[in-house]
Amino acid sequence: MLGYLRNNGEKGIRNVLLVVYTVECSHHVAREIASEFKDKEVHVIGFGGCAPNEYANNMLKTLCTHANVGAVLFVSLGCENLDISGISAAVKSSGRPVTTLTIQSTGGTLKTIDKGVAWVKEAYAAMQAVPRVELQLQELIVGTICGGSDATSGISANPAIGKAFDKLIADGATAIFEETGELIGCEYIMAGRAASKALAEQLIQVVDKADIYYKKMGHDSFSAGNATGGLSTIEEKSMGAYSKSGDAVISGIIKPTERPPQPGLFLLDVVPDGEPLFGFPNINDNAEIAELISCGAHIILFSTGRGSVVGSAISPVIKICGNPKTFRMLQEDMDVDAGKIISGEATLDEVGEEILDCIRNTANGEPTRSEALRHREFVLTYKQFDKQQPGCFPG
């Protein structure tokens, strides 16, 4: 495999130029700039809020310096509270081309679009000189999420991802699973796999936090579609979601924007700390995908039973479909048919190996189905997190 070598020694599997809106008021201008480059890797991300939020600042800082990113254009209105100068300085210090256009001082919508298009053309051409170097499997960070789950997810796609995770970790790579709100009921099972007693206690605590948070919001991570698809309770859904983590030792807990400190298996705690202030922990799957990417994930494994067509900006999404009927209906959107496990055409181990092959091919530049269809969804909302607790990183 070949990766894109960054100044800090990290290697990306894509070379993306980001057009970043820094408030909803500049979203349209950012999208119009990017629309001139539909056939190129120019992605739009951003933060719609105007009130300050440290989480949003940290998310954009880590996303804009992700190994898959080659250059960044910030599109600002001019009176928002996002720390544009601090984020831009982080991008500049990483050696990437970066600039900021401010609509209020540039002269409005059309003039900003013209200047943005001109800058993107120049920066995109410069990005093509980024050196390609050999990339080993153990250098990858792979995240996983499930969405549009049904009764097949927990017996096909999710455990097949678990098999792929076990192989990745055995080869020295880093794997991240997430959504503590969908692990309710599994906390003591996870604790039995913890690398230390202190970590075991933290695993129980972060799931308890999620349970309390959702109860206060009056809604847990269980949709009408889950029930229609045959899932009975959040506990049943949790068992299926948990199986994505495989059987390896859990090495630690991280929060959004935190990189795993060493190779291994990590749980991403996505539920905010403190009293609920900003609504549900994540309004949809793409908010969690963005958080996985903020932790360094090069690739996202997305399992689905009922079907989901979303992809993501920055890092490619591999769709693993657990329901054979859904796969037949949505073949153009799916990468791996894990429904073969249910039909008896393949074993869990065989589909796990197929997922691993798909990871290798994707890392080497082969587009996933969502990439080929130009799915580049992105969501970033308000959150707050405290400092990490002792015991989350054994050793």
| DSSP per-residue codes, 162-184 | HHHHHHHHHTT-EEEEE-GGG-T
Structure tokens at 148: 């549009």
- Beta strand 11-12 with 2-5 is antiparallel
Element (H, E) at 359: helix 348-363
> Could you tell me the CA-to-CA distances from 349 to 152, 169, 246, 327 in Å, in that order?
17, 15, 12, 19
List of residues 6+ apart from 188 with CB closer than 8 A: 204
- Give the sign of the dihedral formed by CA 11, CA 17, CA 22, CA 27: negative
Q: Which of 293, 284, 261 is nearest to 63 (CA)?
A: 293
312-333: average pLDDT: 96
The model's pLDDT over 109-154, given as tens digits with 9 standing for 90+, comes to: 999 999 999 999 999 999 999 999 999 999 999 999 988 778 788 8
Per residue in 101-120, pLDDT (tens digit) is 999 999 999 999 999 999 99
Residues in the chain, how many?
Answer: 395
Cβ contacts of 205 within 8 Å, gap of 6 or more:
389
Whether pLDDT at 232 is above 80: no
Q: How many CA atoms lie within 13 A of 9 on its CB side?
A: 1
**Nearest of 294, 278, 276 to residue 286 by alpha carbon:** 294
- Residue 230: band (very low, low, confident or very high) from pLDDT cuts 50, 70, 90: low
Greater confidence, 388 or 106?
Answer: 106
The DSSP result for 302-316, as a single string, is EEESS------SSS-
Task: Burial-class residue 64 by CB neighbours within 10 Å (0-12, 13-18, 19+).
Answer: buried
pLDDT in tens, 32-51: 999 999 999 999 999 999 99
**CA 189, 245, 230, 180 torsion-angle sign:** positive
3-state SS, residue 291: helix
